[in-house]
Amino acid sequence: MSTGHLFTGNRIRGLLREVAEALGKDHPQETVVVVGGSLLAWHGLRSSTEDVDSSTRFSEAVREAVRLVAARHQLATDWLNDHSSAWHPRTLDASDCETLLEHPRLRVLGAPLWSVFLMKLNRSGAQDVADMIAMWPLVARRFPNARAVTDAFFAAFPMESPDEFLGAHVADIARRAGMELPLT
Q: Do 26 and 99 fall into the same domain?
A: yes
CA neighbours closer than 13 Å in the CB half-sphere of residue 115: 24
Which structural domain range is residue 57 located in?
9-111
Quote the CA–CA distance of 59 and 19 in Å, as a whole number.
13
pTM: 0.93
Asked if residue 123 belongs to a domain, the reply is: yes
Asked if residue 82 belongs to a domain, the reply is: yes
Q: Do 102 and 136 fall into the same domain?
A: no
Quote the CA–CA distance of 39 and 111 in Å, as a whole number.
8
Non-local CB neighbours of 12 within 8 Å, separated by 6+ positions: 34, 38, 41, 42, 49, 52
Asked if residue 181 belongs to a domain, the reply is: no
Q: Do 156 and 93 fall into the same domain?
A: no
DSSP 8-state code for residue 77: T
Asked if residue 23 belongs to a domain, the reply is: yes
Domain boundary residue, one of 111, 126, 148: 111
Non-local CB neighbours of 175 within 8 Å, separated by 6+ positions: 181
Q: Do 96 and 15 fall into the same domain?
A: yes
Q: Do 83 and 140 fall into the same domain?
A: no
Q: Do 144 and 78 fall into the same domain?
A: no
* Residue-level pLDDT, tens digit, the chain, 184 residues: 445 689 999 999 999 999 999 998 999 999 999 999 999 999 999 999 999 999 999 999 999 999 999 999 999 999 999 999 988 999 999 999 999 999 999 999 999 999 999 999 999 999 999 999 999 999 999 999 999 999 999 999 999 999 999 999 999 999 999 999 999 9
Domain boundary residue, one of 92, 111, 130: 111
Q: Where are the alpha helices (DSSP H) in 25-109?
A: 36-42, 60-73
Domains contained in the chain, number: 2
